Amino acid sequence: MFARRAFTQLARARPMAPIQRPVAAWAQQLRLLSDSAREAIDQAVASSPVVLFMKGTPEFPQCGFSRASIQILGMQGVDPAKFSAFNVLEDDELRQGIKEYSNWPTIPQLYVNKEFVGGCDILISMHQSGELGEMLEGAGVLVADAEEPKE
Mean pLDDT of all residues belonging to the chain: 82
Which pLDDT score, from 0 to 100, does residue 1 have?
A: 42
Give the CB-side neighbour count of residue 77, counting CA atoms within 13 A: 12
**149 pLDDT higher than 70:** no
Comparing CA positions, the residue from 51, 46, 42 lying closest to residue 101 is 42
Q: What is the pLDDT of residues 23-56, one digit of tens each?
A: 455 444 555 778 888 999 999 999 999 999 999 9
Q: What is the pLDDT of residues 100-128, one digit of tens each?
A: 999 999 999 999 999 999 999 999 999 99
Which pLDDT score, from 0 to 100, does residue 128 have?
A: 96
pTM for the structure as a whole:
0.75
Q: Domain 34-136 sits in which CATH superfamily?
A: Glutaredoxin (3.40.30.10)
DSSP three-state, residue 30: coil
Neighbours of 83 (CB within 10 A): 18
Residues 6+ apart with CB under 8 A from 93: 34, 37
Q: What are the structural domain ranges in the chain?
A: 34-136
Apex 73 CA angle, 72 and 74, nearest 5:
90
Query: Rounded distance, CA 143 to CA 151, Å?
Result: 24
